[in-house]
Homo-oligomer: A and B are copies of this chain.
């Protein structure tokens, strides 16, 4: 299958099966925790981060079985953050991927432990089997993921997000928040996919990293537009939440038209960063189009 939709569907199916096999069986003790971990991870989501890892892996001619595991590790981190962000003491949300959030379907204590155990599993997966050219390169991958997920990355972004609710933010502050909250993990997904392959040259890694920064920001800008414009059924998560919680977003700062224009600009810059790769970056180009043009 050479068309993008087919490529995407195949990889979404594949990552689902890989995650399925990675998660402890629901019958294994502690059964309720394992059941809840599977509930949170399986059966949903666009798998945007794994798709970026796959596309970057193809660019670096990486072994697909290795990229799958690296992609799954990133997705586990992403899902853990969703489960914790949805908690009553955080964003207090009841709907995610079209279903009750983890603490609604189970309970709060279980949801805290689900997030905790999914994060641990991500690092286990990243260390379990050979993924990079050598063990030193694989330790690098652990560092990349940990840096992206920690207090100076994703978790820090959520802290900034919580602190910004009800305040007015300018564009630079909004950007800082999102670079941390979603951008760093999207960068990590792209870099880890590439790390599974034949070592890219330093300038190639830099270009890929530039691409991933624009792609991550574009993803967030469109997320804000969709939150403002779509309904809950289409999104599979509570729509209009940002405005309701009085959160600063690209829409509240730029308006819908301005935000869409900004996303289009980010797309142009992302494509520019890929230029020197030629045909090898085909899937990454299709992905940035998908990110900017998606409707959910």
**Which residues of A are interface residues toward B (Cβ below 8 A)?**
24, 28-30, 32-34, 37, 80-81, 84, 87, 89-90, 107-110, 112-113, 115-117, 119-121, 123-124, 126-128, 134-136, 138-140, 142-143, 145-147, 149-152, 155-156, 158-160, 162-163
CA distance A113 to B155 in the complex (A): 6
Contact status A24-B113, CB under 8 Å:
no
Q: Please give, as numbers and ranges, the residues of chain B lying within 8 Å of A120 by CB-CB distance.
A: 119, 146, 149-151, 155
Q: Given A30-B160, A37-B151, A150-B124, check contact A90 B119 (CB 8 Å).
A: no
Summarize A's interface: helix, strand, loop or mixed. Answer: helix
Q: Given A84-B112, A107-B89, check contact A30 B159 (CB 8 Å).
A: yes
Contact status B24-A151, CB under 8 Å:
yes
CA distance A146 to B146 in the complex (A): 13
Q: Please give, as numbers and ranges, the residues of chain B lying within 8 Å of A123 by CB-CB distance.
A: 123, 142, 145-146
Contact status B89-A151, CB under 8 Å:
no
Interface centre among A30, A84, A108 (most CB of B within 10 A): A30
Contact status B117-A150, CB under 8 Å:
yes
